[in-house]
Structure 1
Amino acid sequence: MIEVNNLNKFYKNKQVLFDFNTTIDLDESCIYGLLGPNGAGKTTFIKVLTGLLDYSSGSIQVDGENNYLKWCKENMVLIPAGERGLRYKNTVYDNIMFFAAMKGIQERGVKNLIEKYTEALQFSKFLNRRVETLSMGEKKKAMLLCGLCTDMKVLIMDEPSNGLDIESQVEMKMLIRDLAESYKKTFIISSHDLEFFNEMVKHYIFIFKGKNAGEVERTMGTEEIREIYMKKRREMENEGLF
Structure 2
Amino acid sequence: MEPIIEVKNLHKSYKKRRSKEYIQAVNDVSFVVKKGEILGLLGPNGAGKTTTIKMICGLLIPDSGSIKINGRDNRKHRLQSLEHISAVLEGNRNLYWRLTVRENLEYFAGNRGESRKEIRSRVERLLTDFNLKSKENELVNRLSRGMQQKLAIAVAMLAESEVILLDEPTLGLDIETSYEVREILKDIVEDYGRTIIISSHDMDVIQEICDRTVIINQGKVVTDDSIDNLLRLFEVRAYTVTLGEHLTRKQLELLQERFPQATYTEDVIQSSIAIDFYQSEAIYDLFDILKIENTPVETIDRDTINFEQVFMKIVNGGENKCAG
Q: TM-score range by the shorter chain?
A: 0.7 to 0.9
Alignment of 1:48-63 (within 5 A): 48-62=55-69
Tell me the distance in 1 between the aligned counterparts of 2:10 and 2:225.
20
Are the equivalent residues in 2 in contact too, given 1:9–1:18 (CA < 8 A)? yes
Are the equivalent residues in 1 in contact too, given 2:89–2:167 (CA < 8 A)? yes
Q: Which has the higher helix share?
A: 1
Number of equivalences: 236
Alignment correspondent of 1:80:
89
Alignment correspondent of 2:224:
215
Give runs of ≥4 in structure 1 deviating > 6 Å.
236-239
TM-score scaled by length of structure 2: 0.66
Please, what is the CA RMSD of the aligned residues? 2.5
Structure 2: gaps of 5 or more residues: 16-21, 232-303
Alignment correspondent of 2:104:
95
In structure 2, do the counterparts of structure 1 residues 109 and 48 end up closer, same or farther at CA, with 3 Å as the change threshold? Answer: farther
In structure 2, do the counterparts of structure 1 residues 105 and 15 end up closer, same or farther at CA, with 3 Å as the change threshold? Answer: farther
Are the equivalent residues in 1 in contact too, given 2:68–2:81 (CA < 8 A)? no
Identity fraction in percent? 33
Residue 65 of structure 1 and its aligned partner are, at CA, apart by 4.4
More displaced 10-residue stretch of structure 1: 216-225 or 89-98: 216-225
Alignment correspondent of 1:18:
27
Alignment correspondent of 1:231:
313
More displaced 10-residue stretch of structure 1: 77-86 or 126-135: 77-86
Tell me the distance in 2 between the aligned counterparts of 1:44 and 1:217.
23
TM-score scaled by length of structure 1: 0.87
Tell me the distance in 1 between the aligned counterparts of 2:308 and 2:28.
25
Alignment correspondent of 2:197:
188
Tell me the distance in 2 between the aligned counterparts of 1:84 and 1:214.
30
Residue 117 of structure 1 and its aligned partner are, at CA, apart by 1.5
More contact order relative to length (CA 8 Å, sep ≥ 6): 1
User: Is residue 47 of structure 1 aligned with residue 23 of structure 2?
Assistant: no
Residue 35 of structure 1 and its aligned partner are, at CA, apart by 1.8
In structure 2, do the counterparts of structure 1 residues 162 and 64 end up closer, same or farther at CA, with 3 Å as the change threshold? Answer: closer
The higher radius of gyration belongs to 2
Residue 101 of structure 1 and its aligned partner are, at CA, apart by 4.3
